Structure 1
């Protein structure tokens, strides 16, 4: 009887973790993407982008608010694509689209993680590197977990697309 309960509990935890992982990742991306349309968020990402050797050139093309809005649209689109994975069991093409969204999220999180190294802000009162400041360090460190979630949802979506 205990073995059955263990397997039942495990199965329920697996199902719950899949729902929370996919929903949580999609929600975070859509919510943060929507926030990019505010002046608060546009000015908040400015020091990250302008100090990045990978992305600083974008402000030569776009205004601060224009780039934030473009990034917001990208994040919302990625979040919606990831959410399509909920229906991928019924329509395999949705699994492929969800996997694409997850892959794009993974690339985006790799890009945001690079800000830890390019944005000034190691905590000087603790001796600098490796002491992370609240912003950008601790704020960006969570993207390691989001990167893992995007890799997991990509694999799960591809499995459902088979």
Structure 2
């Protein structure tokens, strides 16, 4: 690529990449949030939450289904707030902060949930299906931090 076309290509690709990152994150969070209203998902997250020293107490207060639904509301709210950045960047800041918190909590399950590493393959670093489900949040938290900085930059402009 010549030096004359490289800046034009970057100028074209950057907003496309930004939109894909932002609205891809919105789709992922919203989809996962919507699933929290199903019994399948509520039961699926129960072992993760119940083994967490930071979160296991929630099942003393809420049923598995109620906690899952509350988490779904939080996730759908985060997705909506991240999505409104072009119009209300200050609201989008809140959505990104929520997303960073959600992904941080999910990543903590890597260290607290039994069976994250595949014992039949020798354990660490081989991830079980649960570990594979959790590890995606490393990338998602990075995207959420980017949406946060993007919204902060836009809210100051």
Answer whether TM exceeds 0.5 for this pair: yes
In 1, Cα distance between equivalents of 2:86 and 2:26: 11
Does 1:128 pair with 2:135? no
In 1, Cα distance between equivalents of 2:101 and 2:33: 16
The answer for the alignment partner of 1:19 in structure 2 is 19
Q: Following superposition of structure 1 onto structure 2, how do residues 72-111 of structure 1 map, counting pairs within 5 Å? A: 72-87=72-87, 94-111=88-105
- 1:126 to partner: Cα distance: 1.5
- 1:86 to partner: Cα distance: 2.7
TM-score by length of 2: 0.95
Superposition misfits of 4+ residues, deviation over 4 angstroms: none
Q: Following superposition of structure 1 onto structure 2, how do residues 1-162 of structure 1 map, counting pairs within 5 Å? A: 2-87=2-87, 94-121=88-115, 122-135=117-130, 137-162=131-156
1:85 match: secondary structure: coil
In 2, Cα distance between equivalents of 1:38 and 1:139: 18
2:3 match: secondary structure: helix
In 1, Cα distance between equivalents of 2:45 and 2:94: 25
> What CA deviation, in whole Å up to 9, does each residue of 1:71-124 have, x standing for no partner?
00000000000001132xxxxxx1111011101111110110010111111211
1:33 match: secondary structure: helix
In 2, Cα distance between equivalents of 1:52 and 1:130: 21
Mark the runs of 5 or more structure 1 residues left unpaired by the alignment.
88-93
Superposition CA RMSD, Å: 1.2
Mark the runs of 5 or more structure 2 residues left unpaired by the alignment.
none
- 1:3 to partner: Cα distance: 2.9
